[in-house]
Amino acid sequence: MASEERSYSLGSQVTHSAYGRGVIVDVSPAYAKVYFHDLDKSKQIPRDGDELDLLEAGEGGPSLSLEEIEDVIWRVLTKHGGVQEVVHLGDRWLGGTLVLQPSDKGLQAKEMPLDAFFHKIVMLRDRLRVLEQQINIHPKLNDEDRVHLQQYITRIYGSLTSFNVLFKLKQDHFKGAGGKED
């Protein structure tokens, strides 16, 4: 395709001889910034070269950088609870069992794999974070209501610090008021 025929726009599907298939995420007069999925990165490709072949023209629209697109996607997923970060159980607990032994010897103990119990703790934390976000963006709550509800969530986090012993990384720990572990 001759360079004068090239009309690269945002969202255009292209192919590159060395990098494979990609999507144009930014356009300047001299370059097209193309995100290549197989590389998981963007490359600046000269628009006047023969390196790109247009597969499907994009709609154009406002110019957003790949970082801005990632930020928007992250915010939407986080807002709607679609993101769960990977949190690891501490090495010493891997393969362990949680045993709840009743004081009445006539009753049977309850056992549960520790990784299943840990998963429930992490899900609880993730749902608390979503609740926290929903409180912060709720249109009918004023700042005073938000602070009041936020204090309850902080206290819940503080109550959950007993489970910090299960986490592999300290950065994943529950923190109570003031960011301190209780």
Is pLDDT above 80 for 80? no
The class level of CATH for 3-67 reads mainly beta
pLDDT, residue 4, reads 42
pLDDT, residue 26, reads 83
Q: Are 175 and 156 in contact (CB under 8 A)?
A: no
Percentage of the chain beyond pLDDT 70 is 84
**Rounded Cα distance, 123 and 138, in Å:** 22
For the chain, the structural domain boundaries read 3-67, 78-179
pLDDT, residue 60, reads 60
**Rounded Cα distance, 91 and 114, in Å:** 12
Reported as a pLDDT band with limits 50, 70 and 90, residue 92 is very high
Digit-coded pLDDT (tens) for 34-71: 888 778 788 898 888 888 888 887 766 555 666 767 77
Confidence (pTM): 0.52
Average pLDDT of the residues of the chain: 83
Percentage of the chain beyond pLDDT 90 is 33
pLDDT, residue 5, reads 45
Cβ-based neighbour number of residue 89 at 10 Å: 19
If you compute the radius of gyration of the chain from its CA atoms, what whole number of angstroms results? 25
pLDDT, residue 178, reads 61
Reported as a pLDDT band with limits 50, 70 and 90, residue 3 is very low
**Rounded Cα distance, 88 and 40, in Å:** 25
pLDDT, residue 63, reads 57
**Rounded Cα distance, 13 and 35, in Å:** 10
